[in-house]
Amino acid sequence: MNTADTSPRLALDIGAHETMITAAAGTTWTLPVGTASLWPLSGNGPSALAVENAIQTVEDAIERIAAQVPRGAHMVLSGRSLAPLQRGGAIAALAQGSIGLDGIEREYQWLAARAVGAPSARGTGFDDAAGDAVLLILRELMHHLGVRSLHGPD
């Protein structure tokens, strides 16, 4: 990340049952959503209905804090938040050190296709069943908080 950039920097940690966002000044916001709270984790991935319900759940949680969180931030993901996004040993969409909304949207389209059973989406899942939940949480955070980019831990 460019150190001359003056955009706000937020730390993100996605746990099993809650997601914590921390500003550089120490303010912390906790969302009651996590990798194990959106749908039952399985190797088959979520259903289309589970994805839709999860989107609403995450949006509702974000809505409660959105006015307080700085817009246009760069978000730094904890190691445990990044770990489920692996596919075949490589962290999806993190080849250049950051993930933009376009990369998250591409991954989300694969999730949506898998959820409806599209044959073209076979083999696009993450190594860890929690990857889909992390992806969905990241997508909603980026959309609703205006997050510019996601970065791995320093």
pLDDT in tens, 101-142: 888 999 899 999 999 999 998 888 888 889 999 999 999 999
What is the DSSP track for 58-88?
HHHHHHTTTTTSPSS-EEEEPHHHHGGGEET
Secondary-structure percent of the chain, ordered helix, strand, coil, rounded to 5 = 35, 20, 45
- Residue 3, pLDDT score: 47
Residue 112 CB neighbours (<10 A): 15
- Residue 8, pLDDT score: 85
- Residue 129, pLDDT score: 86
Give me the mean pLDDT over the 68-95 stretch: 80
d(CA 65, CA 12): 14
Q: Which residues pair with 48 in a beta bridge?
A: none
Structure tokens at 113: 């296709």
The residue to which tokens 């997601």 are assigned? 19
Statement: residue 74 has pLDDT above 60? yes
Per DSSP, 120 falls in state G
Structure tokens at 108: 């989300």
Statement: residue 28 has pLDDT above 50? yes
Phi/psi at 90 (5° precision): -110, 140
- How far does Cα 72 stand from its chain's mean position? 16
